[in-house]
Structure 1
Amino acid sequence: MVASKITDEQIQVLKSQLQDHATVLTPSSEEYEVSLKLWSEIGFQRSGVSVRPTDAQGIARTVKFAQDHQIDLAIKGGGHSTDTSASSDGGILIDLSRMKQIWVDPVTKTVTAQAGALWADVDQATAQYNLAVVGGTVSHTGIGGLSLRGGYGYLTPQYGLTIDNLLAAKVVTADGSVIEASAEESPDLFWALRGAGSTVGVVIEFVFQAHPQPNLVWNGTRTYSSDLVPEVIQALNAALVHSQGRAAAQCFLSLSPDTGDPIVTTVLFFNGSEKEGKRHFAELLALDCIADNVKMRAYPEVNTTLDAMVPPGGQKMLIGLQLASPVQPKFASEIMEEIKHRLNAEADMAGSSLEIDYFDPSQICRHAITESSFPARNRLLKGALMLQWTDPSRNDSNVSWGKRIRTMFEDELRREGHEPDKLVSNFVGYTRGDKVTPADMFGVNADRLLEIKAKYDESNIFNKLNPLTGIGP
């Protein structure tokens, strides 16, 4: 389809069709600017209209209207992307922020959440019943984008990806139909949602399998001087695997927000007692640290640990990385030097960081790649370069440097005997204009995904994130 901008006349027709099912905001509306706001300003675009639905019909009628009139359409859940996938240039933006209800069934241990909810909402709701859902590691992330692209979190080594714990979904497809998708109902759509959801429809409700979480967890940050990078990496390598999957960790290379010195910050997580956690991470704890605030905490607090490191606003770019395990300490030291040099030279980037997730991938790899559309089931460790700055004139320079760091990671993968790929995940995504094919993005799942895409979205109205080619006019 050839997407167009919405006209004033079309806005009036859309309002009449939506009635009480949604609020329609135009540039003159008081809440219009708030509805467009994204976590990162780098992907910001101004839509011709913002629609805030309050129910399924509000979404369904808007999607059908966009399709019938060939108007550019974007969906915004948490708005946590660092690209243009959650915005529209003059078209229609569906802002899901008014659909945040959550229902917990303590008997079946299932959680139903509307797509506008954030992980903080889910964590708080499930904690009332001593339950937890595999979610992200930043509480102000929306549940939709993270879930449909895989979903990595501190519980992943124990229970797998978020999509591995997705039981069902309510979906609006391109023709405005509202479909229940699960292993029993519309199984082809359910298969596609788990890894490529944004390309085939709008998920408006998620049903997750929750897990018992009656105990506090041992969690917090422990920070080291940059000269200890090799020792820290070696200790984290040793702590990657726990026999019951109850351990997880993250490693951040950055500058201290207090002194500006290069530091290594580790986030430690153990789903058990302090004694067990200290025993598991004993090699790391034996190293002298600058700061230590690891203690027993309630699970919802765990997912707020990183919130302050990635506040909303400003220019942001997330560049996905992969590393073979065990991570080579020498390479980590080289990357630390690159981080230190760049962030010291570019003061506006001082809040940037490089993250390596030490999440044992064993549970992820227990599922076959073809079990869902999610293609990145391998034993590589995931990571991300989170670039943050304020001056838009530095966009090209800063992103170019980030891509150079990604090339260094790709070269390291090759040295370790792995060929880099372009498979999509939470840290790797593409928008229109990126030179990638469906096979690049989804590997062996591409052909089946294209067939399902053609069935549910032949006109290709859902084309913002990881867009599939070879369909539509």
Structure 2
Amino acid sequence: MKRYLQKLYKSSRSKSPAKSSKTMAENSIASGTQAQVLTKESGEAFVEALRRNSTLSVLEAKYVVFPTQYSDIPPIIAHASSLSPPLEIAVKCGGAHSSTWASSAGGLVIDLGKLNKVTVSSDKKTVTVQGGARWGDVYSACQEANIDVVGGPFWFVGVGGYLTGGGYSPFTPQYGMAIDNIMDATVVLANGNIVKTSPTEEPDLFWAIRGGGNQFGIVVEFTLKAIPYSGPYTMGAIGYAGSEIDNVIKVVQEWKTTYTPKEKLNITYNRPGPHFKPSITVLPWVSEDKDDRSKEVLAPFRALNPVVDTCKAVPDMLAVSHGADAMMKVAPPKLIIRGTLVTDLYPDMMLDVWQKWVAFTEENPDARATSILWELSGADRIAGVASVATAFHARDPHFWVAIQGRSISESSEAAMRSFVAKTTNEIRQFNTRKAGKDAGFFLNFAQGDETLEEVHGPNLPKLKKLKAKYDPKGLWRKGIYIEPDFS
């Protein structure tokens, strides 16, 4: 990515137009607002604004605009829409999604990065979060107040994209999906109106933004329900040689019958350096509100004599959210993530994926950082909400799996993309044969070529109607575009 950005910066310096034309362009985009506008002529600041978590998510926009207040956004939308042809509009919160949904080739990116304020209510029962905040911002405020919220596992993930997609959390087994803990929200609509939405105000919009993604407006503020602090939290890694795969899967199956809502596991297939041999890593999260809970939870895994065990207690979710920082520093920046929901972690399915992953990473050394991640946590609270209660429809008990494709070269990129897509589909097909039905996709793990029916299931007809109501001209087209139904 560094090379690409340096090339882009050099290109921008060599092709800079006269200052007056730059000023006219910026003034027209942000006329009457306090927003900051960056173009190619802005040099390094513009290059930095294009940066995303994955280099494969970077597209070169014509303008990147940073609103500093909610009222900045409607004039920006109006100007982009008035041009002939209109400028494509993308919205960036954290930029962590591995698609290009938060980028635009030649269009306009509304970057919410300056709208990142987090406020804890005086009674500590709610947390108000602006749409450009990241979970690290939220957890910093919660740390000071000694509370928690149902939020994301990584500090760098944007609140807006995470929440509108659904939001699995370490706290989901106790408190449900993140969207089930939104009290109200403020949304900038395609027509420029800024509206409050809740169960009693614009209830259709409130339904749509909880799982319908970025198709109904720009959510610039969320009010989240605060939950009691239940730390410290044990986290870390328990690693095994690949030869232990059968034993690890056996313990996982046994553990599924005993776990409580106070813990969850991620099981990953990876090739850690320096030897890059196939390995299985168990990544636990355990609430230590009860003495020695983690010792009891992790005992069956430790009985397998792992080669690595770095698990330890950390004080709060801010520390938890930084748990992957060391890995992220060395991970190849070419990243594609696809994921799907599964009814169960079937042993033969896990083993089949293991064998295919080992073969792929062996044959494609430039893509050997590609990994498989299975999440195991309680889903009773997910299933306690009706599938029609929010736009997020997957309310039957389920787990999920994410295939994280990473490569270090352009020559391995195509093979990596193919493996990620193929493996995702094979898992879905395998699960359908076992369970008798397709568990579905998760919007935040989609890449945009999935069908609307696969992503939104039975809630799609209502989403199409609400698209016609709130975005009749189809302004919001990035992501999984929902065609409005005017009938």
| Shorter-chain TM-score above 0.5 | yes
Residues 403-414 of structure 1 correspond to what in structure 2 (within 5 A)?
403-414=421-432
- For residues 138-165 of structure 1, give each alpha carbon's deviation from its aligned partner in whole angstroms, at most 9, with x where no partner exists: 2211111111101112111111111011
Q: Distance in 1 between matches of 2:367 and 2:433?
A: 30
Q: Distance in 2 between matches of 1:241 and 1:207?
A: 35
Which is further off, 45-54 or 236-245?
Answer: 236-245
Residue 341 of structure 2: aligned partner: 322
Residue 323 of structure 2: aligned partner: 305
Residue 90 of structure 1: aligned partner: 106
Instruction: Quickly say closer, same or farther: Cα 1:16–1:280, change in 2 above 3 A.
Output: closer
- For residues 311-339 of structure 1, give each alpha carbon's deviation from its aligned partner in whole angstroms, at most 9, with x where no partner exists: 587211101133332x2333323322222
SS of the aligned residue for 2:341 comes to: strand
Give the C-alpha shift of residue 211 in structure 1.
Answer: 0.8
Say whether 1:441 aligns with 2:455.
yes
**What 5-or-longer segments of structure 1 have no aligned partner?**
1-6
Instruction: Quickly say closer, same or farther: Cα 1:263–1:467, change in 2 above 3 A.
Output: same
Contact map agreement 1:309 1:351 (CA 8 A) in 2:
no
Residue type matched to 1:323 in 2?
V
Q: Distance in 2 between matches of 1:418 and 1:143?
A: 35
SS of the aligned residue for 1:138 comes to: coil
Give the C-alpha shift of residue 27 in structure 1.
Answer: 0.6
Contact map agreement 1:383 1:427 (CA 8 A) in 2:
no
Identity %: 26
Residue 4 of structure 1: aligned partner: none
Give the C-alpha shift of residue 12 in structure 1.
Answer: 4.5
User: Aligned match of 2:305 in 262, 266, 288?
Assistant: 288
Give the C-alpha shift of residue 380 in structure 1.
Answer: 2.2
Contact map agreement 1:230 1:330 (CA 8 A) in 2:
no
- For residues 34-81 of structure 1, give each alpha carbon's deviation from its aligned partner in whole angstroms, at most 9, with x where no partner exists: 111111121221111110111101222212322333321000110011
- For residues 219-264 of structure 1, give each alpha carbon's deviation from its aligned partner in whole angstroms, at most 9, with x where no partner exists: 2211111122222222223334667511111001011223211111
Instruction: Quickly say closer, same or farther: Cα 1:18–1:38, change in 2 above 3 A.
Output: farther
Residue type matched to 1:281 in 2?
L
Say whether 1:38 aligns with 2:38.
no
Residue 75 of structure 2: aligned partner: 61
SS of the aligned residue for 1:265 comes to: strand
Residue type matched to 1:100 in 2?
N
Say whether 1:156 aligns with 2:172.
yes
Q: Distance in 1 between matches of 2:214 and 2:24?
A: 25
Give the C-alpha shift of residue 429 in structure 1.
Answer: 4.7
SS of the aligned residue for 1:245 comes to: coil
Contact map agreement 1:109 1:211 (CA 8 A) in 2:
yes
Contact map agreement 1:47 1:91 (CA 8 A) in 2:
yes
Instruction: Quickly say closer, same or farther: Cα 1:313–1:235, change in 2 above 3 A.
Output: closer
Residue 3 of structure 1: aligned partner: none
Residues 234-249 of structure 1 correspond to what in structure 2 (within 5 A)?
234-240=250-256, 245-249=261-265
Q: How many residues align?
A: 460
Which is further off, 392-401 or 255-264?
Answer: 392-401
Say whether 1:390 aligns with 2:408.
yes
Structure 1 length-normalised TM = 0.91
Instruction: Quickly say closer, same or farther: Cα 1:449–1:331, change in 2 above 3 A.
Output: closer
Residues 29-178 of structure 1 correspond to what in structure 2 (within 5 A)?
29-30=42-43, 31-69=45-83, 70-178=86-194
Q: Distance in 1 between matches of 2:291 and 2:303?
A: 15
Q: Distance in 1 between matches of 2:42 and 2:172?
A: 42
Contact map agreement 1:239 1:281 (CA 8 A) in 2:
no
Residue 28 of structure 1: aligned partner: 41
SS of the aligned residue for 1:154 comes to: coil
Instruction: Quickly say closer, same or farther: Cα 1:106–1:131, change in 2 above 3 A.
Output: farther
Say whether 1:469 aligns with 2:483.
yes
Q: Distance in 2 between matches of 1:315 and 1:50?
A: 22
Contact map agreement 2:170 2:264 (CA 8 A) in 1:
yes
Give the C-alpha shift of residue 15 in structure 1.
Answer: 3.9
- For residues 175-233 of structure 1, give each alpha carbon's deviation from its aligned partner in whole angstroms, at most 9, with x where no partner exists: 11111111121111111000014000000111111111153122221111112222222
Instruction: Quickly say closer, same or farther: Cα 1:254–1:61, change in 2 above 3 A.
Output: same
Report the aligned-residue RMSD.
2.2
Contact map agreement 2:472 2:484 (CA 8 A) in 1:
no
**What 5-or-longer segments of structure 2 have no aligned partner?**
1-20
SS of the aligned residue for 1:400 comes to: helix
Contact map agreement 2:234 2:286 (CA 8 A) in 1:
yes
Contact map agreement 2:94 2:133 (CA 8 A) in 1:
yes
Which is further off, 457-466 or 236-245?
Answer: 236-245
Q: Distance in 2 between matches of 1:28 and 1:455?
A: 39
Q: Distance in 2 between matches of 1:9 and 1:459?
A: 30
- For residues 107-139 of structure 1, give each alpha carbon's deviation from its aligned partner in whole angstroms, at most 9, with x where no partner exists: 142111111111111112101111111112222
Instruction: Quickly say closer, same or farther: Cα 1:418–1:65, change in 2 above 3 A.
Output: farther
